[in-house]
Structure 1
Amino acid sequence: MLQGFADAPALYFYPLLAGLLLGVFQIVVFFAGSLSFGDSIADLLDGTSIGELFDWLNLGRVPISIIGMLLLVTFGAVGILLSDTLPLIPDWAYAFAAAPAAIGVTKVLGNGIARLIPQDESYAVSRGDLVGRTGVVTLGPLDDGHPGNVRVRDTHGDLHTIRARPADAGTVIEKGAEVVVVSGGDAPGRVFLVMPFGAES
């Protein structure tokens, strides 16, 4: 079996291997304590199309190492499976199926992991501690429909991506706008309520 993986196309074998190594890294981080590199990556991606994709994939609610692991392992595994099943097709062609599969699996599993991980345990703060903190809308606009994402730093400087909607019905808050958290995410689905910064009065 190991020989079969070693003979797999490099385009899929190395992402699979990298994903497994990320999984080991996440275990080490779990026992050694949190590292800040995830915040640096989030800041680097902020405002970019890739940043929007990672926000959609629950960056901030799920550790970036887990998101990366899911993406890489799924991409590699699907590519290897397809190369074994359809050997007459060029290796690069499997990526057209492997990439969407990786994104879809990461989104579904990420949603489940985000529900299982207590956000206050992850960052050593309670949801109420984010009330009064300012943040920036990273996935929006925010309106009365589906919640968007807001990136907020707590009093310890740790970065959180929270699901939020406007506190006032009918309000629309555009992506990139600065907001202030006015409710501690006690609504169903842990949705926080926010207002445009400076509009509390």
Structure 2
Amino acid sequence: MIADALAASPLFFYPLAAGLALGLLQILLFFVGHLPLSDAIEHAVEGTQLGEAFDWLNLGRVPVAILLMLLLITFGFVGIVLESLLPAMPAWSFALVAAPAAVGATKVVGDRIARILPRDETYAVTAAEFVGLEGTVTLGPLDDGLAGSVAVRDRHGDVHTLRARPVDRGTVIQQGSHIVVVARDETHKGRVFLVMPFPA
């Protein structure tokens, strides 16, 4: 299989390699604890048609980096397998099968991952219960640009990382600042929270 992958069309080899590299990077960042890759990718696709597609694939319940990894690896793997089985056919024709297969597999696997991953909205704590909680800016500064991240502790003592921006336009809240969550930003489907410095 490794030989097939190395001899495969770039159309499938590069996505497979990129997906595997993304997976390894996710593992590394998990242990290092820095550079929130999923947040950066989610910011990049926010408000785009690609972002809408990722919403259907469980964006917000599964980190976008994991969804992207699943798409790339499945697309590349299916394409390489078909190419090895039917070498006489052009590589582009296999993409017609590999693309929907990748989307379907990502949806199915994403649904299952979403059931076991810790989420910002859990059975124990709903998103509405984050309002009023105090926390710290972990990815900032928070301003009128892309949402940053804050860490808050719920009533059970569990720590949650939320995407956030200031409730008041023009406000800048520096990384490390103490904040309080005041509302959900419904313009971002409730996935972004509005915060203000604490004490105000």
TM-score with structure 2 setting the length: 0.62
Alignment of 1:18-167 (within 5 A): 18-33=18-33, 35-120=35-120, 127-128=125-126, 130-131=128-129, 133=131, 156=151, 158-159=162-163
User: Are the counterparts in 1 of residues 120 and 162 from structure 2 also a CA contact under 8 Å?
Assistant: no
User: Are the counterparts in 2 of residues 6 and 13 from structure 1 also a CA contact under 8 Å?
Assistant: yes
Give the superposition deviation at 1:70. Answer: 0.5
- Counterpart in the other structure of 2:137: none
* Structure 2: stretches of 5+ with no match in the other structure: 132-146, 152-160, 165-184, 191-200
Which letter does structure 1 place at the counterpart of 2:110?
G
Deviations, residues 36-74 of structure 1 (Å, cap 9, x unaligned): 343233233222211110111112221222111100110
Q: Which has the higher contact order (CA 8 A, sep 6+)?
A: 1
Structure 2 residue 18 is matched with structure 1 residue 14 = no
- Counterpart in the other structure of 2:135: none
User: Are the counterparts in 2 of residues 58 and 111 from structure 1 also a CA contact under 8 Å?
Assistant: yes
Give the superposition deviation at 1:23. Answer: 1.2
Aligned residue pairs: how many? 146
Which letter does structure 1 place at the counterpart of 2:95?
A
SS in 1 for 2:108: helix
SS in 1 for 2:35: coil
Give the superposition deviation at 1:177. Answer: 5.2
User: Are the counterparts in 2 of residues 130 and 154 from structure 1 also a CA contact under 8 Å?
Assistant: no
Cα root mean square deviation, aligned: 3.2
Give the superposition deviation at 1:86. Answer: 1.7
TM-score with structure 1 setting the length: 0.61
Give the superposition deviation at 1:9. Answer: 1.1
Over the matched positions of the two proteins, sequence identity in percent amounts to 46
* Structure 1: stretches of 5+ with no match in the other structure: 134-151, 161-175, 182-201
Which letter does structure 2 place at the counterpart of 1:43?
H
User: Are the counterparts in 1 of residues 41 and 65 from structure 2 also a CA contact under 8 Å?
Assistant: no
Q: Distance in 1 between matches of 2:37 and 2:21?
A: 16
